Structure 1
Amino acid sequence: MMALSPLNQRRWRNFKANRRAFWSLWIFAILFGLSLMAELLANDRPLLVKHQGEYYTPFLNFYPSTAFGDDFRTEAEYHDPVLQCLIVTGRNELCFDAPEATKAEAEEAGTVDGQPIDRGWILWALVPYSFNTIVDKPGFAPGPPDAQNWLGTDDTSRDVLARVIYGFRISVVFALIVTACTSIIGIAAGAAQGYFGGLVDLIFQRILEIWSGVPTLYVIIIMAAIVPMNFWLLTGLMVLFGWTALVGVVRAEFLRARNFEYVRAAKALGVGDSKIMFRHVLPNAMVATLTMLPFMITGAIGTLAVLDFLGYGLPSSLPSLGELTQQAKQNLQAPWLAFTAFFTFAIMLSLLVFIFEGVRDAFDPRKTFR
């Protein structure tokens, strides 16, 4: 707090006084922080393996099966019971030749033919599946929740909880990148229009009228039919057509503030236009700007979900909450898919709206919380 200016200290106190926004920030930060560590929470490769006194990190590095005593040079299949036996015991004759009862007894006793075994071990993630892991279990897919899959499996037998963790991260990162880029472009364009006015404002308004009339969804669908869609291409298209959302709000604030006395005084003192715009006028326009941010973030998340639901969003190889919603629609006999998709979107969007409501009120000089 000592590094903050008195004005920012007051804003932080106002934000903390809004208990709903403050606790929403903590909850969302924890959830988003956990999703950033998705590889440590949900992974079909072990986090750490000890074998014959050496340590391996399979979730970071590639190890062939031969590293653990198997005969194949392909990547180790850590869910294979034989490979697990090799890692734990390090004895080929025990894992390939001995019957199951002998294996279990030897592993429990820690010896084979009277010789001690250098015991190894495997440290798995909390969810031992990645977002694209096919779960090998009896029965039909989608499977209901159980001790093995806490939120069940989808129609291709992939773990739903793992896909929610990875999908949550992609949705939030996508929304934050799109919102940040569109805000920078929109604020700069709106500030130039409102501050300079005249011919600059007239030309920009005509450009906005044309650009705002472009059907964004149709353009994305056409692009998806021409070139393979990926994360960065979809992000670029969203920024390309989404920056107009803030222009009108920022333009109106700058038109109102450019004739204030402190702006005229700054001009008379020879202060540059860019310094006046972004150091003196922009802070007064931040309240109206921050009012739009929660709608932009939730709109970006909703747009991504809709595109994934329609099949024109991210590639099918990536985890997607919209694709989970589509599966819930197609598999009405599996209500756990619908409940998972609904509560994930409801919690995520509600927390974001509450947080930005608190930020908006904290920047409003007319509001003071006790």
Structure 2
Amino acid sequence: MALSPLTRRRLANFRANRRGWVSLWVFSVLFVITLFAEVIANDRPLVARVDGHWYFPVLVDYAESDILPDGLPTEADWHDPALQAEIRAHGWLVWPPIPYDYRSIVRDLGQPAPSPPTLRNWLGTDDQARDVLARVIYGFRISVLFGFTLTIVSSVLGVMAGAVQGFYGGWVDLVFQRFIEIWSGMPQLFLLIILASVIEPGFWTLLVFLLLFSWMSLTGVVRAEFLRGRNLDYVRAARALGVSDTRLMWRHILPNAMVATLTFLPFTLSGSVTVLASLDFLGFGLPPGSASLGELVNQGKNNLQAPWLAFTGFIVLGGVLSLLIFVGEAVRDAFDPRKLPGGSALAAAEAATVPASPQEVADQAGGGGADAKVGQA
């Protein structure tokens, strides 16, 4: 399928922003890697072969008796040295690069937790002797997935609400605006504290709660575009031909409104990631023990004697938000109609093709005659 000239120009503008283009690739690679966190960081082997039988502990829970004839009928502890010795005596097993997940307690540290980075724990351990790198990988994944889900659903709801407001206007717009003003003034943190006292917040609980307020972020932009677009000539002509309101909004006005909306999406995504990290930092986010970037920052605050915790939390969270902001700037440049691919060189080339005005021609002629007289003199 061939791309339209407008789409090609937008892609060229996006690539022209080198910082945003590189940030998109870096963020995409990190996100894809963390999607396979169980294969990278896990306290179970990826695969094992014992007495000619294949086992996949990363996918299936095995008891010791399922692996060894004289094993106990309890869940296998793969970090038990005795069990590992028995398995290696009858076969082999392959561990992931990081033999811990975000809940694993690192044994035999040799010093009180939190412990500094070593070859065994590349980013050290936290105050509960859990591997920091494993928690960063899992925390990055859940933060980005939460941000994507919240951004997509809230954007859809916000676009629908803004479209209805702007298209119909009048009393519909007036009542909706008053409702948004009242609803946006609700104390979200206090309501979340009340919610946390009733039920334990989880991924879906927090998502639904934040959706109740985050849908208003794009409503104003879409409303303004629909208020402007509903009075354009082609919309009036389509209405005169009997086109339904739904088709007018969906096919004729929404594509133009989405240009302004798409430029806000990367910034909305970074805000969604920040909201979850802030709630986890305050203790009103994911359940205790969950992998979270905000919980890592909180551990850095509570353990000033372990600076690697604060540095790791700051670098990871700040890096994620910086990448998203840079991508957002590139998207903004891509949809900016004033920007042309090639920058000032193309603008200068186009300016050179514009014919000069009669006054400019006369001035150039007069200047040329004066120069000629001076040369003759």
TM-score by length of 1: 0.89
What secondary structure, in the 3-state scheme, does the structure 2 residue paired with 1:326 have? helix
Which residue number corresponds to residue 39 of structure 1?
38
Name which of structure 1's ranges 254-263 and 343-352 shifts more when overlaid on structure 2.
254-263
**Take 1:278 and 1:186, find their aligned partners in 2: how far apart are those partners?**
15
Q: Distance in 1 between matches of 2:167 and 2:253?
A: 9
Which deviates further from its counterpart, 225-234 or 78-87? 78-87
Rate the CA distance shift 1:121–1:3 in 2: closer, same or farther, 3 A. farther
Give the Å deviation of 1:12: 2.5
**What SS does structure 2 have at the residue aligned with 1:55?**
strand
Tell whether the 8 Å contact from 1:287 to 1:360 is kept in structure 2 after alignment.
no
Cα distance in 2 between the residues matched to 1:254 and 1:67:
64
Question: Contact conserved, 2:267 with 2:324, CA < 8 A, in 1?
Answer: no
Is 1:353–2:353 an aligned residue pair? no
- Match for residue 149 of structure 1 among 114, 118, 121: 121
- Structure 1: gaps of 5 or more residues: 91-119
Q: Is the 8 A contact 2:123 2:131 kept in 1?
A: yes
Q: Which amino acid aligns with 2:271?
A: G
Answering whether residue 209 of structure 2 is matched by residue 237 of structure 1, we say yes
For the pair 1:71 / 2:85, whether they are aligned, the reply is no
Residue 6 of structure 1: how far off its partner (Å): 4.2
2:363 corresponds to which residue? none
Ranges in structure 2 where 5+ consecutive residues have no aligned partner: 343-377
Q: 2-side partners of 1:288 and 1:17: how far apart?
A: 20
Aligned-partner SS, 2:305: coil
1:50 and 2:25 matched: no
Give TM-score, length-normalised by structure 2.
Answer: 0.87
Distance 2:183 2:115 in 1: 46
Partners in 1 of 2:103 and 2:144 — Cα distance? 20
Aligned counterparts, 1:273-312, within 5 A: 273-312=245-284
Q: 2:80 maps to which residue? A: 80
SS of aligned partner of 1:368: coil
Provide the rounded CA distance (Å) in 2 between the counterparts of 1:215 and 1:300: 18
User: Is 2:201 the partner of 1:225?
Assistant: no
Per-residue CA deviation, residues 158-205 of structure 1 (Å, 9 max, x unaligned), is: 000000000000100111111111101111111111111011111111
**Which stretch shifts more, 357-366 or 306-315?**
357-366
Q: Could you say what secondary structure the match of 1:188 adopts?
A: helix
Give how far 1:273 is off: 1.7
- Whether the 8 Å CA contact 1:21–1:358 is kept in 2: the answer is yes
Residues 21 and 296 (structure 1), Cα distance of their counterparts in 2 relative to 1, 3 Å cut: same
**Contact (CA 8 Å) 1:42, 1:130: kept in 2 or not?**
yes
Q: Distance in 2 between matches of 1:244 and 1:25?
A: 26
- Indicate conservation of the 8 Å contact 2:126/2:299, yes or no: yes
TM superposition shift of 1:320: 0.9
Could you tell me which residue of structure 2 aligns to residue 89 of structure 1?
89
Please list the CA deviations of residues 316-340 of structure 1 after superposition, one character each: whole Å capped at 9, or x if unmatched: 1311111111110010010000110
Task: Say if 1:9 and 1:275 are closer, same or farther in 2 by CA, change over 3 A.
Answer: farther
Q: How does 1:95-174 map to 2 (within 5 A)?
A: 120-136=91-107, 137-174=109-146
Q: Distance in 1 between matches of 2:22 and 2:245?
A: 40
Is residue 208 from structure 1 mapped to residue 207 from structure 2 by the alignment? no
**Does the CA contact (< 8 Å) of 2:9 and 2:341 recur in 1?**
no
- In 2: Cα distance, 1:19 partner to 1:340 partner: 26
Paired position in structure 1 for 2:60: 61
Q: Name which of 282, 289, 293 aligns with 1:321.
A: 293
| Residue 363 in structure 1 maps to residue 335 in structure 2 | yes
Matched, 1:334 2:333: no
The alignment yields a C-alpha RMSD, in angstroms, of 1.4
Could you tell me which residue of structure 2 aligns to residue 23 of structure 1? 22
Within 1, Cα distance between the matches of 2:93 and 2:76? 13
- The residue that corresponds to 1:13 in the other structure is 12
Opposite residue 347 of structure 1, the aligned amino acid is G
3-state DSSP class of the match of 2:207? helix
Matched with 1:111 is none
Question: How far apart, CA to CA, are the structure 1 residues paired with 2:227 and 2:3?
Answer: 30
Superposed counterparts of 1:256-275, under 5 Å: 256-275=228-247
Q: Verify the 8 A CA contact 1:35 1:166 in the aligned structure 2.
A: yes
Do the aligned residues in 1 keep the contact of 2:102 with 2:291 (CA within 8 Å)?
Answer: yes
Output one character per residue of 1:128-175: Cα deviation in whole Å (capped at 9) or x when no partner: 000000000221100000000000000000000000000000100111
Matching residue of 1:94: none
Is the radius of gyration larger for structure 1 or structure 2?
Answer: 2
Deviation at 1:369, TM superposition (A): 2.3
* C-alpha distance after superposition, 1:41-68 (max 9, x if no partner): 0000000111112211001001111233
Q: Which amino acid in 2 is paired with 1:82?
A: A
What's the CA shift for 1:260? 1.3
User: Is the contact made by 1:64 and 1:76 (CA closer than 8 Å) also made in structure 2?
Assistant: yes
